[in-house]
Structure 1
Amino acid sequence: MKMPKKHHKDLQDFRQNIHLSCKEWDKLGVQLKEYKERTYEVLEPGWCDKIYYTIYENLKLPCAFSFKNAKIDRTTGGPFLTVKCQCTECKTEIHLYSLTEPTADGIDFHVSTLDTRRLIHIKKRQLRGDRRKQVAEELKGKSAYLWQREAAHKRMNFGDNKPADLYSSEVLRKVMQETIEKELGLKSGDNPIISLFKVAQSPEYAGSIREICLYKPFIMYWLPEQIALYNLWLKNDKIGSISIDATGSITKPLQTADGSKSIIYLYQAVTNYNDKIFPLFQMISGKHDANTLCYWIREWLRSGAKIPKEVITDYSMALLIASSLAFNQRSLQNYLDECFHQIFSSSTYLERMCLLRIDIAHLIKMITRWPCFSKD
């Protein structure tokens, strides 16, 4: 078997034998295929990913090999199996061939290529077919980062090149998105707001998506189970404190008709239970005023949730005003006046109100920005 052409003058020839057990060979699989009244044997679909896995496990080459063909020949006396492929980045060719058919001990592959282990590679193999379905199953209940870490720990030793099928976070998140869309019965490319309408009308999610607004969109959602568990927790918790905050880091801005961008925030209320975060109710919104936030909180209360004893927010005036209006049925100014009156009143009677507090981390951050601390 001839060696591949050298595209880099300093690369050395690389020859090695790879042994596959009968079990590993059976995973590749052989099937019959007909073409123009001729029947011949080919490897089963998905063989490219399995052959690449074998190449990396034995050679640790960083190349993102693209496979051309795999030829099986039992008649001419030549090699039983011949596989040709080429790296899509450095264009290095690799030839794998087996002179004899598999036996009870398995099959031996002879490999001839160039030693590209010192070359830096960026490109990855495409994730498709059965391998894409397999990765989708592995990603269930995991983040893209966790999948990458587990795959690297399983296949790499210190100093090894990254395998070309250690996919990027963007690719893995796309697979996760496709899996979720498939489970929800959605099609890729559908309008996200229209898709949400379809999901909200399905019996499975009818009790979780509470309201959807199209213009300056917002989506309110929480599960009946969240309300039931929250009420049970509030009954037994002495402090009864919940936290409400927002982030714009996980959603992309929406492009409006006039070309401007509408910032989308995820608003979420949570509490602490056994040192774990317990989510209570959520809203994804392009509107960030006190009226919208007050409406969101009141809808949660109207669906059966009880008023908490304490609410913690940041310095967002919209959140503070909305919390006072929804939980205490009074403006923020009236709430502050009432607190001041109760502190300095000689009466022992204290009206029960939901206590509004500022998160200590936000308070510290604000103080560190005072000029007296920022000057050199």
Structure 2
Amino acid sequence: MILLSLAFLVVLLPWASSSFNSFDEGSAPNELDRPTNCNCGGKLRASIDNSGPEVEVTCNISKGDSKCGKRWLRGKTRHKIARAIEEKSAHIYRAQRANKEMCPGDAEPPNLYSSPVLRKAKSEYISSQYLDKDPVKSIFLSKQTTGANIIQNIGLDPFYVHYWTSHQTSIYKKYCSKFTSCLYIDATGGVVRKIKKADGSKTGNIFLYHSIIRLPSGQFSVCQMLSEVHNTNAINYWLTEWTRSGAPIPKEVVTDASRALLSATIRAFTNCKSIGEYADSLWHKPSACYIRIDVAHFIKIYASLVKDLPRRVRVFYLGSIGQLILSKSLKEAEKILGSILLVSQCETEGYLPSGEPCKSEAAKYFLKEIITSSEEIDQAADSEFISENLPQDEDFTVNDGNSNIWCQWGEVIDKRVQTARAEIGDRENAHFFPALSKKLMNDLYYFPMWSCVVQNQFGYGRIPASSASVEGEFNKIKTHLLSGVTGSLRADVFVNRHVDYLSGRMKIIQSKMDNDDNAIEELSREHSSVTESVTNIYCTSATHASDAISVDREEIAVEASNSLCPACQNEDKPSGAHKCVVCLKQIHALDSCSIPYKGSGEGYGQKRICLECNNVGGTSVILASREEENWRGLAKSSNPRRAAKYLQKNNYNLNEQLTSDANRKLLVIKNGSNLALSPIVLGGRNVYVMKLTDIPVYFKNPLNDKEQYQLVGLVNYTPPPPKRRSSENQGIGHSTAYCLRGGYQWVEYDDLKKNERNKKSNVYVQPVLLVFVRNKI
């Protein structure tokens, strides 16, 4: 027998509502006339005692066979549980609930739902969050709504999505104006699942491409792409579209050893079309962008090659390759390369019969010295198998095949090595490994990209080049952003999550950049060159002394431009007549705020460039990428420009709209006070329909902070139904007056009615006249 309070009956016996049948509401007040039966054979009989101040219920329970069956999972409970298991599996959820509610030996309770039911509820809940069942269509709908300025391009077959925010571009431009910009580009898989096509087949593996920059305040992504195609053209299109949107071309780019990434970055950021052409151009002079190969990816190739050799031999060769990567001049690289080729190809070492050391012995000693000591290689030292003078330009010709100038340079060194191989020493060479020399000769095709041999020509560059930043960003996405996710995500879900994640990261980075501006400027002035370890790869600049002075002057010019514009200092917003042709933001037609674009006219609509974009540079490249074929004028949209919304937050000056003599005849709120009040087409005509709450009641006079305008009334016009109009009977509609009493109560006056009527604030009206009065604050 159980005695309990009536107020706790449902709480203590939650199973009674589902497993037991209901009782008769007409029962005696002191007793439930018939027992309540459970599916398992259990019975419940209760009696009520309400004679005292408290109501008591006495329950008699007889247990059944405990085979009650499962409850229905529906309604709010279904939604709540589905939401709880969104980030976990049904199996884990059942185990957690069983551990909490069951004791050893207990039967499975009715409210412990089966795995299929939980999985179905979870699937339904997740599907309800989608804009559409088709992920590609869902991304398209997102581009038309919340992601209008984020999702840039969408491809159906093959599938791809380009997305980045204007905030990312803004921070990147600020970074470029303060540092020698370095971009880290890489791709990863396993974050987005394949998309099912209409014919039942699936897309290829979808990779996430990231472009990362790194600041002392942190690292963040500046543009992203999801793509099922991973060739040069697809990656090049992504990067070209990014620069076309106004992003400056970086000074340095670091990628892995992927030929597709290398070729795409070369095409997007330089005037060359292939890796060989770009490498050949670096023999003569530096390019506009310094393309680099990540040191870790490159070293890993040789680590795999020598993995079966003894440990001491592996360490020797990997250390020698590392010194070749760090070489900063052709003569230094020539000595190291010749020594590696000789040691790896010569079968003997030691001493000659004359007692002199073999050239292979001297080369091995030289490599051991530079590996074990931090001292620089003696540039004045000579070697018999390496030429004293560097090859001249006329000694080599550009070859578009599998060879280029750098390969021919290596062949000259290898010929001298072959001569030295004829010497026979007194012992076997334990480091004999000709496969390494063959691989190294092939990789000379990319030599200026995986070494630092042309770093002095550029005047900047990381030593060595490392893309650890982008690898760290991928780790954050897979470890934190996708934590709790079983498998991969749909493309549309991942894009939405990633954009939200990036938005928060951008705000944090922006805050740190604003707080550390003085420290960043001081850092860029003090450091003209930076040597960077593999594990410490902060983005800094390395320039000559004269270059450092010019950079400082550019930074001063940027700061001066922001401080010298009198209109910006006075917080006067641009009227919209002039926009920067690069970043498209509205600017003042003042030399302290912007400069005219060459070849443009004068006056209204003159093409101008903001000083920030002008100081970053690359304007001509960005504008050239925006040129398009306009056959018979069909390429450009012919839609007329939408009317301005004068009272919403925009770049139009409210002062000019209210005080200009030319605009006094215009109805200030003719087109509504916000975007939601745009006209709709009813019966072939534009109708302005809005709620009374949407109309602004107050707004201040921009000329006098102590004056404001207050809404006191309006005229509402109701047009006649279109179907009643004919040549004989032209309807004219009907107008009523609305007055605002006490600042909150609307009253309607209708000449067809005897009395006025109070109106709620959510009533829709079609105002043709608004009446404001001027008040002093």
- Shorter-normalised TM range: 0.5 to 0.7
Aligned to 1:177: 126
Cα separation, 2, equivalents of 1:73 and 1:359: 81
Matched, 1:353 2:324: no
Aligned to 1:289: 231
Quote the offset at 1:295 in angstroms. 0.3
Aligned to 2:644: none
Quote the offset at 1:367 in angstroms. 4.5
Matched, 1:269 2:254: no
- Structure 1 residues 178, 104: closer, same or farther in 2, change over 3 A? farther
Cα separation, 1, equivalents of 2:240 and 2:5: 65
Cα separation, 2, equivalents of 1:359 and 1:170: 46
Cα separation, 1, equivalents of 2:291 and 2:187: 16
Aligned to 1:192: 135
When the two structures are superposed, what TM-score results if normalisation uses the length of structure 2? Answer: 0.31
Aligned to 1:112: 63
Cα separation, 1, equivalents of 2:78 and 2:251: 48
Of 168, 181, 201, 1:226 maps to 168
When the two structures are superposed, what TM-score results if normalisation uses the length of structure 1? Answer: 0.57
- Structure 1 residues 238, 255: closer, same or farther in 2, change over 3 A? same
Q: Deviations over 1:142-163 (max 9, x none)?
A: 8336996899399639997998
Q: Is the 8 A contact 1:96 1:111 kept in 2?
A: yes
In the comparison of the two structures, how many residue pairs are matched? 295
Cα separation, 2, equivalents of 1:306 and 1:109: 80
- Structure 1 residues 239, 195: closer, same or farther in 2, change over 3 A? closer
Q: Deviations over 1:268-319 (max 9, x none)?
A: 3153678977343332323222101110111122223233444443443222
Aligned to 1:131: 77
Q: Deviations over 1:68-122 (max 9, x none)?
A: 664244516448884745xxxxxxx485746246976899795835579xxxxxx
Identity of aligned residues (%): 21
Aligned to 1:99: 46
Q: What letter matches 1:266 in structure 2?
A: F
Of 261, 264, 283, 1:319 maps to 261
Larger radius of gyration: 2
Q: Deviations over 1:37-88 (max 9, x none)?
A: xxxxxxxxxxxxx947xx9xxxxxxxxxxx5664244516448884745xxx
Matched, 1:152 2:99: no
- Structure 1 residues 352, 270: closer, same or farther in 2, change over 3 A? closer
Matched, 1:244 2:186: yes
- Structure 1 residues 70, 317: closer, same or farther in 2, change over 3 A? farther
Which ranges of structure 1 fall in alignment gaps of 5 or more residues? 1-15, 29-49, 56-66, 86-92, 117-122, 343-348
- Structure 1 residues 294, 352: closer, same or farther in 2, change over 3 A? closer
Of 10, 20, 27, 1:25 maps to 10
Which ranges of structure 2 fall in alignment gaps of 5 or more residues? 311-777
Q: Is the 8 A contact 1:291 1:322 kept in 2?
A: yes
RMSD (Å), alpha carbons: 5.2
- Structure 1 residues 157, 366: closer, same or farther in 2, change over 3 A? farther
Matched, 1:164 2:112: yes
Q: Secondary structure at the match of 1:337?
A: helix
Cα separation, 1, equivalents of 2:305 and 2:169: 41
Matched, 1:210 2:137: no
Cα separation, 2, equivalents of 1:113 and 1:274: 69
Quote the offset at 1:178 in angstroms. 2.5
Q: What letter matches 1:320 in structure 2?
A: L
Q: Is the 8 A contact 2:211 2:224 kept in 1?
A: no
Cα separation, 2, equivalents of 1:94 and 1:134: 31
Q: Is the 8 A contact 1:245 1:314 kept in 2?
A: no
Cα separation, 2, equivalents of 1:105 and 1:278: 65
Q: Is the 8 A contact 2:249 2:269 kept in 1?
A: yes
Cα separation, 2, equivalents of 1:125 and 1:273: 56
The structure where strand makes up a greater share of residues is: 1
By relative contact order (CA 8 Å, sep 6+), the higher-ranking structure is 1
Q: Is the 8 A contact 1:210 1:222 kept in 2?
A: yes
The structure where helix makes up a greater share of residues is: 2
Of 87, 105, 111, 1:143 maps to 87
- Structure 1 residues 176, 20: closer, same or farther in 2, change over 3 A? farther
Cα separation, 2, equivalents of 1:251 and 1:155: 33
